[in-house]
Amino acid sequence: MVDVVQHRTRRLALRRAVLALAAPLAVGLLAPVAPAFADGEGHGRGGGGGRPDATPVATSVGTGGAVTSVDASASQVGIDVLRRGGNAADAAVATAAALGVTEPYSAGIGGGGYFVHFDAATGEVTTIDGRETAPAGMPTDAFIDPATGAPYRFSPELVSSGVAVGVPGTLATWEAALDRFGTKDLKQVLHPAIQLAKHGFPVDETFRSQTLDNKARFAAFPDTAELFLPGGDAPQVGTTFRNPDLADTLSLIAKQGTHVFYEGPIADEIADVVQHPRKDPASPLPAPPGTLTADDLAAYEVIDQAPTHVEYRGLDVYGMAPSSSGGTTVGEALNILENHDLTSASTGQALHLFLEASARAFADRNAYVGDPAFVDVPTETLLSQEFADARDCTIDPDAASTRPVPAGALDAEGCAAVASEERADTENVSTTHLSVVDRWGNAVAYTLTIEQTGGSGMTVPGRGFLLNNELTDFSTVYSETDPNRIEPGKRPRSSMSPTIVLDDGEVRFVLGSPGGATIITTVLQILMNRIDLGMTLPEAVAAPRASQRNAASTPAEPGFIAEYADDLAPFGQVLVPSGDLLTSAAQIGAAATIEVGDDGVMTAAAEPVRRGGGAGLVVRPAR
């Protein structure tokens, strides 16, 4: 691995911020790994859930394989698969299926995602694009209210509607991943999730609060209210939440295959719900219908494509290519930072450059990135060092730029920029990510989502899963110059950034995060923290975050403002609190990461605090 220059003064300053956020981390490093389970009964979600005899840990160190996710039960499912001889792909799919049970407002078979895989035997990184797609009959004015001629309000009309539902890609992703990389079949890897849905898991504060945050939306749809609002209230903390309908649905898929979802009765039921939302007549929620059909489901296919790739400090960084903007935007920002010696810079200087690089990468993302099947995305240019150098020369190392900054000119030399439209980004923060490395050195970074917390709010009757509202990631106002405009059959642009970093052909880091457009800055900041600023991986994950996305001011977590506002003030960087300081909306991201050392020892580091805390587990913990 590249040498990391550690400066004691900066490291102590950074550690003060880390300790404020990650008080439980030291305990987590020494806590025992939750024991494996056979029947899936009684497992909890998040950092606060789990069996009475299982202590969720944010970070574990050891060998034999590693799994990290936001949920203790899901991480344990993945570890059990690795212990029983499964590989990284097997464990990733099993973990994702479990997340669909315990994190139903963030993931599930009603959504989609991006799967990045490293094959240790061949040294090849490949990807599966399982992003949701717009129906074939979706008009370009789908987000316009025909009654008024004006755009639907993003909330509540658009997010809770049939018009926002894209064709789900999650099951097709699982099938493709197992067929190409796995050693287990779908029936085997779905079994733990089926048991988890059948027997239930303890409700924690995160699950209850997310339900209450969506109470008005969920109450508008009787099928959703019956499942998630029994008796008119969110499940109480400490009670057991069971989803027998989902257990039956997953069992049916395990027995008959994914065609029962894409071409069988479930497809007809999904289409019917989208076209005729089942809404309580007493609810004021408009819930406009969509155009998705059973034929759209039957026609769905995942897309195989090459990953994005840049070199950073001698490491090979691989990510997800468009339709995701994650790989190109993270890659471009890293290429800009490559020109600067961050290890020798002051804390303020390093963070100033991080914010300025991110602003430029986002300007270019917004101007040029969309679904490459519909848009000529200049991926090669955006990832070139020459383009990054041209963008870097627009950065004043001593002063913040006036933002938003214009996009870079693709065919010009020097520091040329082009006029670009400023567009609102409607991508929601609720998603989930998992990282896996197995004993053979294979690795998976997988980010999956149903978009909004709770997706569209619509549950397929008797099936136990929520449908996504992923099409709200399209620009709300149609423009011929917008690469992310609505088009039939198109995949909306995403910020999901599953990332695998190789060092001399072997896995060094696997990482990703939820968080909408803040996913990109979260992944970028963790890499900078670990590679340049001398933090350990757990410190890099726990450290307070900021997210500059080409805006006049930079949203930042309270801890970031408290620790770094004075350092950044001389550069003119303006920090504003992210979200509501009284809720988890103030938190940026919820990363799940793994590092493999030169000696093969793995560090599985999940969030110690954010989103209730995650679980990083290894097969054989170090003593």
Q: If we measure between CA atoms, which residue out of 606, 467, 500, 442 comes closest to residue 100?
A: 467
DSSP H or E stretch at residue 503? strand 499-503
Q: If we measure between CA atoms, which residue out of 218, 228, 214, 221 comes closest to residue 273?
A: 221
Q: Work out the number of other CB atoms within 10 angstroms of the CB of residue 558.
A: 16
What are the C-alpha distances in Å from 546 to residues 392, 523, 568, 578? 20, 11, 12, 8
In terms of residues, how long is the chain? Answer: 623
- The residue assigned the tokens 């992210």 is 578
Amino acid at residue number 523: V
What's the pLDDT tens digit per position in 543-564? Answer: 999 999 999 999 999 999 999 9
DSSP string for 332-344: HHHHHHTTS-TTT
Q: What is the pLDDT of residue 610?
A: 94
By annotation, the residues acting in catalysis are 431
**Is 393 strand, coil or helix?**
coil
Which residues face 443 on adjacent strands? 118, 437
Is position 403 annotated in a ligand binding site?
A: no
Question: Within its chain, how far is the Cα of 544 from the centroid?
Answer: 18
pTM of the model: 0.91
Question: Within its chain, how far is the Cα of 199 from the centroid?
Answer: 27
Which residues face 418 on adjacent strands? 407
DSSP string for 13-33: HHHHHHHHH-TTHHHHHHSPP
Is position 396 annotated in a ligand binding site?
A: no
Is position 473 annotated in a ligand binding site?
A: yes
Q: What is the pLDDT of residue 536?
A: 98
Cβ neighbours for 187, distance < 8 A, ≥ 6 positions apart? 254, 255
DSSP string for 122-166: TTEEEEEEE--B--TT--TTTTB-TTTSSBPPIIIIITSSSTTPP
DSSP string for 200-267: -EE--HHHHHHHHHTHHHHHHSHHHHHHHSGGGSPPPTTSEE--HHHHHHHHHHHHH-THHHHTSHHH
CB 260 within 8 A of CB 132: no
Q: What is the pLDDT of residue 348?
A: 97
CB 420 within 8 A of CB 407: yes
- The residue assigned the tokens 């949920």 is 71
Q: What is the pLDDT of residue 152?
A: 87
Residues of the chain with pLDDT under 70: 1-55, 412, 419-429, 580-585
Which residues face 167 on adjacent strands? 133
How far apart (Å, rounded) are the C-alpha atoms in residues 215 and 373? 38
Is position 401 annotated in a ligand binding site?
A: no
Specify the pairing of strand 308-312 against strand 315-319.
Answer: antiparallel
Is position 475 annotated in a ligand binding site?
A: no
Domain residue ranges of the chain, discontinuous segments joined by +: 8-304+426-621
How far apart (Å, rounded) are the C-alpha atoms in residues 436 and 184? 16
Superfamily per CATH, domain 8-304+426-621: Gamma-glutamyltranspeptidase, small (S) subunit (3.60.20.40)
Cβ neighbours for 540, distance < 8 A, ≥ 6 positions apart? 526, 529, 530, 533, 593, 605
DSSP character at residue 484: T
How far apart (Å, rounded) are the C-alpha atoms in residues 527 and 310? 13
CB 444 within 8 A of CB 88: yes
Q: What is the pLDDT of residue 41?
A: 26
- The residue assigned the tokens 């190392």 is 397
Take residue 189 and report the two structure tokens written for it: 């890897």
